[in-house]
Amino acid sequence: MTYETILFTEADGVATLTLNRPEVMNALNSTMRAEITRAARFLPKTARCLVLTGTGRAFCSGQDLGDAGAALDLAGVLRDEYEPMIHALRETGVPVIAAVNGVAAGAGANLALIADVVIATRSASFVQAFTRIGLLPDAGGTHFLPRLVGHARALGAMLFADRISADQAAEWGMIWESVPDEEFAATVAARAGALAAGPTRAYLAIREAVAASAANDLKAQLQVEARLQGALGDSADFREGVVAFHQKRAPVFTGS
Ligand code: LHQ
């Protein structure tokens, strides 16, 4: 598959999708949204983890403002292009790491939050830039951010559009970790490698259960856990995990 605006590679079970418009800080245009959607929907069968990152000094600067003239049908673009992209990333058959290599602004900040795990390099930052141009946060930001950091921090970040450092984001619980720049590539590779060698079905069940927890009371959530755990009880990785435990060795998971 050839792409214009992204790079896509796969090695050792790790698929890497790199936003590749560095001249505009990897701003999202229509082609890039379609390419992300396609790449996320049709991952190679051998992939067991997806890493989403950017080329150059930015992760993603959000909507390409070169395309955002007054004539742009914002609701239409969100419905027809952003929504399928967000669903494609949320519904991958493998866990997703956002490896935030630099500034993540506007829809770019919220694109990172779609991932299961966000790892940022210490010099990266997150900006809910939308109010600077008279808009409200989109691309799922009003769904994810309050759930991650609570209403007070979500509202402050959205109203003031301040730059939030990677360290601050980690301290707030907005992301998993902020790592020193010189350790970023190795940390992402190690985390992606671990997920690619892990029990994929359990990871997907965790994603589903945690997403469901936002809307469930305890009773409903216990039922979700029972249903998902029941299905995992039939998995090869569960059988292997138990055998490996008894044999006092590391399990070899196949993702099935
Ligand atoms: C850009 C962009 C960009 C084009 C930097 N577009 N060129 C959804 C539905 C439909 C429409 C509306 O919006 C949405 C959702 C949204 O995402 S709205 C929010 C859109 N994003 C923003 O408002 C962020 C705009 N960018 C910035 O605030 C800054 O550029 C950041 C904080 C990302 C980086 O700042 P700096 O490190 O100081 O870099 P810079 O501003 O000098 O940018 C470098 C170049 O990238 C520059 O081009 P130039 O030719 O002058 O070198 C910028 O014009 C270009 N660029 N973001 N979104």
Residue 72 has a pLDDT of 82
Is the separation of the CB atoms in 109 and 126 below 8 Å?
Answer: yes
pLDDT of residue 70: 61
pLDDT computed for residue 38 by the predictor? 98
Residues 147, 161: Cα–Cα separation, whole Å: 18
Among residues 183, 179, 110, 185, the alpha carbon closest in space to that of 149 is found at 110
Query: In this structure, what token pair is assigned to residue 228?
Result: 């998902």
Alpha carbon of 217 to ligand 1 centroid (Å): 40
Q: Rounded distance, CA 90 to CA 171, Å? A: 24
Report CA(62)–ligand 1 centroid distance (Å).
Answer: 7
Angle at 89 between CA 48 and CA 229, to 5 degrees: 60
The rounded distance, in Å, linking the Cα atoms of 164 and 153 is 11
Which pLDDT score, from 0 to 100, does residue 139 have? 98
- Alpha-carbon distance of 173 to 2, in angstroms, equals 36
The CB of 78 under 6 Å from ligand 1? The reply is: yes
Candidate of 20, 65, 78, 165 to mutate for ligand 1, largest count of ligand atoms within 8 Å of Cβ: 65
Q: b/e for 155-164, b at 16 or more Cβ within 10 A?
A: eebbeebeeb
Name which residue sits closest to atom 47 of ligand 1, judged by CA. Answer: 24
- Ligand 1 centre from 61 Cα, in Å? 5
- Distance from Cα 163 to the centre of ligand 1, integer Å: 13
Is residue 26 within 6 Å of ligand 1 at its C-beta? Answer: no
Does pTM top 0.85 for this prediction?
yes
Instruction: List pLDDT tens digits, range 55-88.
Output: 999 999 999 999 876 678 999 999 999 999 999 9
**What is the mean pLDDT of each successive set of 10 residues along the chain, which is 256 residues long?**
96 98 98 98 98 98 86 92 98 98 98 98 98 98 98 98 98 98 98 98 98 97 98 98 98 98
CA atoms within 13 A on the CB side of 184: 19
CA of 121 to the centre of ligand 1 (A): 20
3-state secondary structure (DSSP) of residue 203: helix
